[in-house]
A and B are shown apart, each in its own frame.
Chain A
Amino acid sequence: MNNMWTVIRFTFMNKVRTKSFVVSTLIFALIISIGINLPYLIQLFTGDKAGAEDITRIGLVYGQEQLLAEQLETTWSSLPATSYEFVKYETADEAALNKDIENGNIEGYLKFEKQEGNTFPTVVYSSEDEAMSPELQSNLQAALQIAKTRSIVDGLNLSESQIQELNQPVRIDARSIEGASKSGGASDEKEGSSEIINYIVVYALIILFFFTLMGTGNMIASEVTTEKSSRIMEILITSVSPLSQMFGKVIGMFLLGLSQIAAFGVVAVINLMLPHNIDTLKEMNLDLSAIDPMLLVFGLIFYILGYFLYAMLYAAIGSIVSRTEDLGQAIMPITMLSLVAFYIAIFSLSAPNSMLMKVSGYIPFISPTTILVRIGLGDIAVWEILLSLGILVVAILIFGWLAAKIYRTGVLMYGKRPTLKELGKAMKAYKM
């Protein structure tokens, strides 16, 4: 136990001072700061301008459709504020219109074209760019729909309120139900804004999980291989049992990863506390207090468990490789596994209750990330979380035992990378 602390301390102190660790932590902290300030920066550059000055003018040719055009103008002004404004033209004088477009007086113009057999004319928008902006298109569509309805119902002697009723769009509300199977903090009814903030938190947790795991995991593996190739391993295992050595290293790196996460957390909180960011968050309707505290608690628990599961495998793999050059190839399977866990979770953020997510929440190696998505965004019962936790713990015990055995055997095997068969044979020769 005493020796394990010595190993933990040595591992931690040695790594925390390395240039690569300091630099990568700083870079990541910088990215976090930029990410948090990004909405504010975007607003600073674009948001304010759009409000006041940028009103685009569009020509509206009245022509023979005086009534329709007037209708359109009235409806237009009743729509929620748009950045478009009509300029009236009596006749469709193409030369004059084109000249105005060239001069920049108008962006484009609208013209009604009478259609044979149809009561309602086709509307043509002409401008230098072929495409219409989505905002203009949807607003025009809405306004013209109203105008069209009016022109048709005019002859029907409907009252004004009836016409309004007609123009009212149909509303579809989504409401989630408090089911019987759900209980506890993880399955509260989620409202729009808290949904978004939890989405962001889950996203951030998964990325954090992935990057710190990759970083510390690779460090463990390369550290073990370096010790092996520099032959200090032989001295080490005569001084301290391989088990305390391996777990000391894994725990030392864990503390390193944890302190890195803590540093990122502090950076994030400081940035969020800056006055301009508080305002921006308010404008975006994001309420930090809506973050589900259970999500953070479970995030930490699953990070710790997931870390240990992966870290022990990294240590085991590192122990069977004799040369650092061979390491990259050897740890490929674990890297793939962590990538799978990462991508399944990221791609399922919008479908947290899919069958894939339900199943993968119970598969060790993948569950640490996928279960977070379900806790944060989906519906999950407490027993499901506990079951997933239990499976993960059992997996840690099994793989920990296996990894320790591989480690014990691997650290003394030199030469070419052993095959699984050779490894199995050699493992039998060692008592723990």
Chain B
Amino acid sequence: MQRLELDNVVKIYADKTAVNRISLQVEEGEIYGLLGANGAGKTTTMRMVLGLIYPDEGTILYNGKPYNKELRRIMGYLPEERGLYPKVKVSEQISYLAQLRGMSVKDADKSLKYWLERFEVPDYYDKKIEELSKGNQQKMGFIAAVVHDPQILILDEAFSGLDPVNVELLKSTVKELRDKGTSILFSTHRMEHVEELCKNITILHSSNTVVKGNLKEIKSKYPREEVVLGTSGDVQGLEAIPGVTEVKRTEDGYSIRISQVDAAQSILNTAMSQSTIHRFEIKEPTLNQIFIKAVGESNE
């Protein structure tokens, strides 16, 4: 049984389809990546999962059951434009939000203190949100989303606007939550985060699912088109090899685009006969390239 399962979910607003037949499954202890350009339907999908809006078609199941009020206690949400009361103390508002999600005052306080320690900012307990920097406000928003130890955590652009140190901090926290069994639905347009965190992904483009599945499988499906060659001397005749489309000289060798994988062996042979090789790699396509390709193709 899946923690969270969307089956052919459709949302139509007055004049346009916001989400068209999206299906996805998130297991226990999994981070699921939801990618897409702005306006692709990520936030609408998340709002449907949260029960804020209802799908026009299709079903959403949580632990095999449809949406019910009990879910409010096991879901956590960090909205894209995260908000907290600017003029209310951190301790008061996070305790309030935790209580709304069914925690006792005592447990809420304990959990909040744990998270403030975890983020190494215990002195924010008595501060008002408006006194904190943007990045720290975001951390407080993250705490508000996880303070009640949710089973299903929904993070909409969780890392945007954070400095690298804090991104690492949050990333390791997210991984930690995953390892404890939390199912996380994660949206972003920063591909490198997805490659690091997510097992399965869905790429949305103008309301449609264009790519979906296991990240490794997706990558293997996309042809390897780039060979990185590191040589000590010059190599001649690379352009002449069948299947090579483009050769670029780089600092310590060549970057070669190929149209078929067989060409890679010929390149290696050619290079070996002319120079010493200290690096040879047939590169996997990056998610960035896949994304651009997928979104670009569906545009044509």
Q: Could you jot down 16 A-B contacts, CB within 8 Å?
A: A10-B96, A14-B88, A226-B85, A231-B81, A235-B77, A235-B79, A235-B144, A235-B145, A236-B100, A237-B52, A238-B50, A238-B51, A238-B72, A238-B77, A412-B47, A425-B14
- Please provide the chain A residues from 1 to 50 with a CB less than 8 Å away from any CB of chain B in the complex: 3, 6-7, 10, 14
A232–B10 alpha-carbon span in the complex (Å): 26
Chain A, residues 58-79, CB within 8 Å of chain B (1/0): the string is: 0000000000000000000000
Q: Which 4 A-B pairs have the closest CB atoms?
A: A231-B83, A232-B83, A239-B100, A230-B83
Bound-state CA distance A405–B47 (Å) is 18
Given contacts A230-B86, A412-B47, 16 further A-B pairs with CB under 8 A are A3-B100, A230-B85, A231-B83, A232-B83, A232-B84, A234-B52, A234-B77, A236-B97, A238-B50, A238-B52, A238-B75, A239-B100, A240-B72, A412-B52, A425-B14, A429-B53
Q: How far is the CB of B240 from chain A (nearest CB, A)?
A: 59
Given contacts A6-B96, A6-B100, A425-B14, A235 and B52 within 8 Å (CB-CB): no
Task: Assess the B79–A231 pair: CB atoms within 8 A.
Answer: yes
Q: A234-B52, A234-B79, A238-B51 given as contacts; is B100 within 8 A of A7 (CB)?
A: yes
Assess A412 versus B53: contact at CB under 8 Å? Given A234-B83, A235-B77.
yes
In the bound assembly, the distance between CA atoms of A237 and B92 in angstroms comes to 18
Size of interface on A: residues with Cβ below 8 Å to B? 24
User: Closest CB-CB distance, B182 to chain A, in whole Å?
Assistant: 16
Chain A contacts for B69, CB-based, 8 A = 241
Q: How far is the CA of A6 from the CA of B51 in the complex (A)?
A: 21
- A230–B144 Cα gap in the complex (Å)? 14
Chain B residue with the shortest CB-CB distance to A237:
B52
CA distance A171 to B230 in the complex (A): 123
B55-97: contact bitstring with A at CB < 8 Å (1 yes, 0 no)?
0000000000000010010010101011111101000110011
Q: How far is the CB of B47 from chain A (nearest CB, A)?
A: 8
Main secondary structure of the interface of A (DSSP, over half): helix
Contact B77 A232 (CB under 8 A): no
- A148 CA to B107 CA, complexed, in Å: 95
B95's nearest neighbour on chain A, judged by CB, is A10
Residues on A facing B (Cβ under 8 Å): 3, 6-7, 10, 14, 226-227, 230-241, 412, 425, 429-431
B side interface size, CB within 8 A: 28
**What residues on B are CB-neighbors of A234 within 8 Å?**
52, 77, 79, 83
Closest approach, in angstroms, between the C-beta of B75 and any C-beta of chain A? 7
Best-surrounded residue of A233, A235, A237, A240 (most CB of chain B within 10 A)? A235
Contact of B54 with A by CB under 8 A:
yes
The winner among B52, B72, B83 for most chain A CB atoms within 10 A is B83
Q: From residue A96, how far is it (CB to closest CB) to chain B in Å?
A: 79
Q: How far is the CA of A235 from the CA of B69 in the complex (A)?
A: 15
- The docked-state distance in angstroms from the alpha carbon of A233 to that of B82 is 10
Q: Are A431 and B54 in contact (CB under 8 A)?
A: yes
Please indicate the chain B residues that have their CB under 8 angstroms from the CB of A241 in the complex. Answer: 69
| B99, CB-defined interface residue at 8 Å | yes
Question: When A238-B77, A240-B72, A412-B53 are in contact, do A233 and B99 touch as well, CB less than 8 Å?
Answer: no
B93 neighbours in A (Cβ, 8 Å): 232
B53 touches A239 (CB 8 A): no
Measured between beta carbons, the chain A residues less than 8 angstroms from B75 are 238
The answer to whether the Cβ of B205 comes within 8 Å of any Cβ in the partner chain is: no
Bitwise interface map of B from 140 to 163 toward A, beta carbon under 8 Å scored 1, else 0 = 000011000000000000000000
Determine which residue in A234, A429, A431 has the highest number of CB atoms from chain B within 10 A of its CB, and name it: A234
Residue of B nearest to A244 (CB): B100
For B92, the chain A residues whose CB sits under 8 A away are 10, 14
A429, B96: Cα distance in complex, Å: 30
Q: How far is the CB of A84 from chain B (nearest CB, A)?
A: 65
Min C-beta distance of A249 to chain B, whole Å: 13
Which B residues lie within 8 Å of A3 (CB)?
Answer: 100
